[in-house]
Structure 1
Amino acid sequence: MKKNRSMIIIASAMTLLLSGCVSSLSGDSYSRSEARQAQFVQTGTVIGTRLVKIEGTKSGVGAITGGAVGGVAANSIGGGSGRVLATIAGAAVGALAGSAIEEGTTRNDGVEVTVRLDDSKATRAYVQEAKGTSFYNGQRVRITTTSSGTARVVPI
């Protein structure tokens, strides 16, 4: 019973840690450090879009937490050296599963927006999360770029 309680606590911690890693990559989201910072603004016209996948994070949190959960769960199997081997195997399988869960839960659908800029007539492509805003050819957009290079495309 005590081992089951430990597994529930660890699994809950894993869920909380992984959900805390998820951040938005949409054009409407800013990190805390980007707030109140000057940004370079350009305007342009959308000349193309395509759907893309934005891969998930691989911070190691999922692997560490999954390894802990797998090790605790497998520790109840067998006895003596069998228990040790089961614990090691459970930790290894849990680490792989936790890593896959982290990557999968933080993966996003994205959109690549190709824009012809007004001021230079240059063409640039920007990728951001597809959530919330749709783009179409001929649409007028504003591109804001931070000093660190993070760019966002939003309709005008």
Structure 2
Amino acid sequence: MRKVIVFAAALSAVSLVTGCASSLTGDSYSRSDARQVQTVRMGTIESLRPVRIEGTKTPIGAGAGAAVGGIAGSTIGGGRGSAVAAVIGAVAGGLAGAAAEEGITRTQGVEITVREDNGALRAYVQAVNPNEIFRVGERVRITTVNGTSRVSH
């Protein structure tokens, strides 16, 4: 029965972490950005560079890992030994949960350097979208809303 509880807790932790990941692609908007006026600029891509976008680092991954580790640790031994194992399991689970959250939510990105029509040279970083492939020399539009900019065709 305890193995089922530990498995269910681990599954819940993974679901929480992956459910909180937001999309960083150019075609993704937050709810607060919807129906807002956007500034649109045009430009030409000067260079592209692959980058890695770090994953999220919220208390959710560490908390879920600590809960799972504590439950798993409490199944070891009995009495005082069980309590010590629960604490050690919670600490180890918290560290593992935080690392898992960052790893699961890490994504591949692209830095797009654009020479805008006004002469300004700016770089934009966004997640790679397999449906939108950019090429050097290509004309693109840059939209900005609430301080967030994205590059698109």
Q: TM-score range by the shorter chain?
A: over 0.9
**C-alpha distance in 1 between matches for 2:56 and 2:76:** 32
| 1:131 aligned partner | 129
**C-alpha distance in 1 between matches for 2:27 and 2:98:** 28
| 1:39 aligned partner | 38
Aligned partner of 1:58: which letter?
K
Within 5 Å, give how 1:136-155 maps onto structure 2. 136-146=135-145, 148-155=146-153
TM-score of the superposed pair, with normalisation by structure 2 = 0.95
**C-alpha distance in 2 between matches for 1:15 and 1:129:** 22
1:16-47 Cα distance to aligned partner (Å, 9 max, x none): 21121111100011111111111000000000
**C-alpha distance in 1 between matches for 2:112 and 2:41:** 14
Residues 1:114 and 2:121 aligned together: no
Displacement after TM superposition at 1:134 (Å): 1.8
Displacement after TM superposition at 1:13 (Å): 1.6
**C-alpha distance in 2 between matches for 1:10 and 1:123:** 49
**C-alpha distance in 1 between matches for 2:14 and 2:77:** 28
Aligned partner of 1:47: which letter?
E
Displacement after TM superposition at 1:129 (Å): 0.2
Aligned partner of 2:75: which letter?
S
Displacement after TM superposition at 1:80 (Å): 2.2
**C-alpha distance in 2 between matches for 1:68 and 1:80:** 19
| 2:74 aligned partner | 75
* Superposed structure 1 runs of 4+ greater than 4 Å apart: none
Displacement after TM superposition at 1:5 (Å): 2.8
**C-alpha distance in 2 between matches for 1:8 and 1:138:** 51
**C-alpha distance in 2 between matches for 1:131 and 1:45:** 19
Q: How many equivalent residue pairs? A: 152
TM-score of the superposed pair, with normalisation by structure 1 = 0.94
Identity, % of aligned positions: 53
Describe the SS at the equivalent of 2:135: coil
Describe the SS at the equivalent of 2:5: helix
Return 5+ residue gaps in structure 1 as ranges. Answer: none
Return 5+ residue gaps in structure 2 as ranges. Answer: none
| 1:6 aligned partner | 5
Describe the SS at the equivalent of 1:77: coil
